[in-house]
Amino acid sequence: MEATFRNLIVSDWVIAIYILVALLLIIAKRKSNYKLLNFSRLFFSDTYIKTYREDSLLKGFHLLMLGMSLLFFPLIIQVLLFKIGYLTQFEFSEYLKIALFFGFFYLLKMMLQLLLARVIGFKKTISRYIFQKQTYFSYLTFISLLPLLFFIYTPVVGSYWLYLFVILWFVIFSLSVLLILTHFKELFFSYLVYFILYLCAFEISPIIGVIYYITRL
C-alpha cells in the first residue's frame, strides 16, 4: 500500500533551526575556512579525514559540526516521518522529543565507547574510529540541508522524490561505513570476536532501539 504523503505547514521554529544551523556553519567558517572547505569535499576527497584524524573530538570545529548534526538530524527524521504518515502533527513538541532522545542516545553512546576504549587499552584507535564515524554522520547531515528545504517548501512532493532521497542517503551512508571498515580492517580482523560483540552492543541494538522509539511516537 502506498503511503499517504502530507504537506508541511512551515512554522517559525523550523526557520529558527535553519538559522541556528547557518550560524554554526558561519562560526565554523570563521574558525577555519580551510577545514570547512575540506569537510564540504568529503564525498570527493578524504583529505579532511587524513589531515585531522588525530585531532581531539573536543576541538572547536568538530564540536560545531557535531552540534549542527544533533540540531538538524532530528528535523530530517521528523520531516520524513510526517511525510509518510507516522506523525500526525508537525509541531515543535515532536521535534523536541526526537531531538532530546537522539541527542541523549548519541552522546551516551559516544561516552560509553570512549570508556570501553580506555578500559581495553585502545583509546587512541577507538577515538579515531569515532572521529571518522562522527565526521561522515555530520557530512550526511550537512548535504541534507538543501534537499530538506525542497521537501519542506514544495507544496506537493511525489513519493518517488522522497524514496530517492532516502535511497541516496543510505547509499552514501553505506559507502562511508565501507570506508571506515577499510581504514580499520587490520584491527577488526585481528579482534573479530570483539568486533562482532561491539557491533551488536553499540551499533545494531541502539539502531533497533531508536527505530522502536520513533515508531512509538
Q: From CA 192, how far away is CA 186, in angstroms rounded?
A: 10
Mean pLDDT of 103-132: 80
Tell me what the pLDDT averaged over the chain comes to.
80
Looking at the predicted structure, is the pLDDT value of residue 142 above 90?
yes
Please give the Cα distance from 39 to 14 (Å, whole number). 25
The predicted structure's pLDDT at residue 209: 66
Percent of the chain with pLDDT over 90: 20
pLDDT at residue number 18: 93
Tell me if 214 sits within 8 A of 77, measured CB to CB.
yes
CB 131 within 8 A of CB 53: yes
Distance CA 207, CA 216 (A): 14
| Cα of 135 vs its chain's centroid, Å | 9
pTM for this model (two decimals): 0.81
The domain limits of the chain are 12-215
Task: Please state the rounded mean pLDDT for residues 80-99.
Answer: 83
pLDDT attached to residue 109:
83
